[in-house]
Amino acid sequence: MSQKDQEKWDRKYLENPALREPRPPLRLIDTWVPPGDGNSQALDLACGTGRNAIALARKGWKVEAVDLSPVALQILTEAAETAGVLASIRTEMIDLETFSPPVNSYDLILKANYLDRSLIRRTIPALRPGGLYIVETYMHHADNAKKDANPDYLLAPGELKTLFAEGFEILHYDEFWNESYEMHRMRKQAIVAKKLST
Ligand SMILES: C[S@@+](CC[C@H](N)C(=O)[O-])C[C@H]1O[C@@H](n2cnc3c(N)ncnc32)[C@H](O)[C@@H]1O
């Protein structure tokens, strides 16, 4: 694990009160994720302080929420306890740069505001046939407000569709301007892709 990355993210969460405030979960969860049946298993990659993990747990899902920042995971744990869903969420401190979860383990994989293309490839086998892979993150755009964003972490136009071109049915794809509660006005891309059975 990159100690420097972990320290960077811990510091961000500790020094920036706005990042510790509860934020609305992805709208995609409301629209596309069916209620869990108590055994439905989700994986929230780079979960941060848990806005999406908590929303999934509220819908009846069991959630594995993973991130490299122990500070973020502690905030998540406290928020999940307040929301009454702590029993449905298991947190783990993990470096996603080397993470390859076991095959056929999840009915839903979600990745929000974090881009690692190889992580998508490494985690697709962990999604069960019929399961949903949901990604929402930032993309290149000339009018993005954050001019110093690392270009490696920004999607090219249409790129998410290419990452799920094989073995998936794309249920939803969109490019749009982010919500006003985010720090900088940025263009985003989102996909909901259903894994095919064969
Ligand atoms: C912008 S936040 C997004 C948090 C959350 N997904 C959300 O949308 O609210 C990015 C998160 O990625 C985590 N992260 C960065 N590099 C990571 C790595 N190599 N392994 C695991 N988590 C990482 C950070 O700790 C941070 O919580």
What is the largest distance, in Å, between two alpha-carbon atoms of the chain?
A: 47
- Nearest Cα to Cα of residue 164 among 117, 108, 126: 117
CA–centroid distance, 47 to ligand 1, in Å, is: 6
Per-residue pLDDT, 1:
59
Amino acid at 118: S
Atom of ligand 1 at shortest distance to CA of 6? 25
Centroid of ligand 1 to alpha carbon of 4 (angstroms): 14
Q: What pLDDT score was predicted for residue 11?
A: 96
Whole-number Å distance, alpha carbon 197 to ligand 1 midpoint, is 30
Ligand 1 atom with the shortest distance to the CA of 13 = 27
Nearest atom in ligand 1 to the alpha carbon of residue 69 is: 25
For 3-195, CATH gives 3.40.50.150
Residue boundaries of the structural domains of the chain? 3-195
Atom 8 of ligand 1, residue of closest alpha carbon: 112
Nearest CA to ligand 1 atom 4: 48
SS3 of the chain: CCHHHHHHHHHHHHHCHHHHCCCCCCHHHHHHCCCCCCCCEEEEECCCCCHHHHHHHHCCCEEEEEECCHHHHHHHHHHHHHHCCHHHEEEEECCHHHCCCCCCCEEEEEEECCCCHHHHHHHHHHEEEEEEEEEEEEECCCCCCCCCCCHHHCECCCHHHHHCCCCEEEEEEEEEECCCCCCCCCEEEEEEEEECCC
What are the tokens at 164? Answer: 């799920």
How confident is the model at residue 38, as a pLDDT?
84
pTM higher than 0.85:
yes
- d(CA 195, ligand 1 centre) in Å: 24
CA of 138 to the centre of ligand 1 (A): 13
Ligand 1, pocket residues at CB < 6 Å:
5, 9, 46-48, 51, 67-69, 72, 94-97, 112-114
- Give the pLDDT score at 182: 85
Residue 181: per-residue pLDDT: 83
Average pLDDT per block of 10 residues along the chain, 198 residues long: 89 93 94 95 98 98 98 98 98 96 98 96 98 98 91 95 98 95 92 93
Q: What angle do CA 97, 122, 118 make, to 5 degrees?
A: 55
* Alpha-carbon span 168 to 50, nearest angstrom: 27
